[in-house]
């Protein structure tokens, strides 16, 4: 997909070498049993998939990739995804957050349907382990370091989210 004049590509799904750049983190870090993976296909699609388990107070899987820290222009993020009916969140980490909190916005997918979502940067809320961080400063685009997806819908089962676009729009 080619970005228009009002959009600039943030994550390029056409480079298979980027498979190694995606980092998956699951509730296994705290004793849970969920899993997840990320793969880029030759069809220029990324796929975040796995299984959510509620055992041992688990229930999440997330994937993220580092992006250019100098996103000075733009009003928000645009994504194009093929969902499975689950609710996901799009996450942003910044150099200011020191991995203590992230900025998130949630979106509901429809099973087997391509959907495009636009999220203004002012729609993102700071969270730490799913809880709001009201004292966090507003998201500053020039400090963005990583972007990614998270599923933590408190429902056990398989999940699969395909993405063909993550871009900045103006």
The string of pLDDT tens digits covering residues 86-116 is 999 999 999 887 778 999 999 999 999 999 9
The rounded distance, in Å, linking the Cα atoms of 170 and 115 is 19
What tokens were used for 127? 């969270």
Task: Please tell me whether the overall predicted TM-score, pTM, comes out greater than 0.75 for this model.
Answer: yes
Q: Which residue has the tokens 């993976």?
A: 37
What tokens were used for 92? 């942003």
Confirm whether 96 is domain-assigned: yes
The rounded distance, in Å, linking the Cα atoms of 69 and 65 is 12
**Cα→Cα distances 4→60, 117, 128, 168, Å:** 34, 16, 34, 10
Confirm whether 105 is domain-assigned: yes
Q: Percent of the chain scored above 90 by pLDDT?
A: 72
The rounded distance, in Å, linking the Cα atoms of 42 and 36 is 20
pLDDT of residue 87: 98
Yes or no: say if 52 and 151 are a contact pair by the CB < 8 Å rule. Answer: yes
Please list the alpha-helical segments (H only) found in 63-156.
Answer: none
**Structural domain boundaries enclosing 35:** 7-169
pLDDT of residue 116: 98
Quick: pLDDT tens for 44-62: 999 999 999 999 999 999 9
Confirm whether 2 is domain-assigned: no
Per-residue pLDDT band for 1 (boundaries 50, 70, 90) equals: very low
pLDDT of residue 78: 96
Q: How many domains does the chain have?
A: 1
Yes or no: say if 19 and 40 are a contact pair by the CB < 8 Å rule. Answer: yes
Task: Look at residue 4 and tell me whether its pLDDT is greater than 50.
Answer: no
Confirm whether 108 is domain-assigned: yes
**Cα→Cα distances 37→20, 24, 47, 102, 161, Å:** 11, 6, 8, 21, 11
Confirm whether 161 is domain-assigned: yes
Quick: pLDDT tens for 116-165: 999 999 999 999 988 999 999 999 888 899 999 999 999 999 999 999 99
């Amino acid at each position: 997909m080619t970005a228009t004049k009002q959009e600039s590509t943030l994550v390029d799904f056409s480079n298979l070498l980027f498979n190694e750049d995606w980092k998956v983190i699951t509730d296994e870090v705290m004793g849970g049993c969920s899993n997840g993976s990320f793969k880029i296909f030759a069809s220029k699609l990324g796929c975040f998939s796995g299984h959510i388990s509620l055992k041992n107070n688990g229930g999440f899987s997330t994937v993220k990739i580092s992006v250019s820290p100098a996103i000075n222009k733009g009003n928000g993020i645009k994504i194009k995804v093929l969902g499975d009916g689950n609710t996901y969140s799009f996450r942003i980490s910044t150099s200011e957050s020191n991995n203590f909190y992230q900025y998130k916005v949630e979106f509901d997918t429809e099973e087997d349907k391509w959907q495009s979502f636009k999220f203004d940067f002012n729609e993102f809320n700071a969270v730490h382990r799913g809880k709001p961080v009201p004292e966090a400063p507003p998201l500053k685009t020039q400090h963005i370091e990583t972007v990614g997806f998270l599923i933590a819908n408190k429902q056990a089962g398989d999940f699969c989210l395909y993405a063909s676009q993550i871009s900045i729009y103006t």
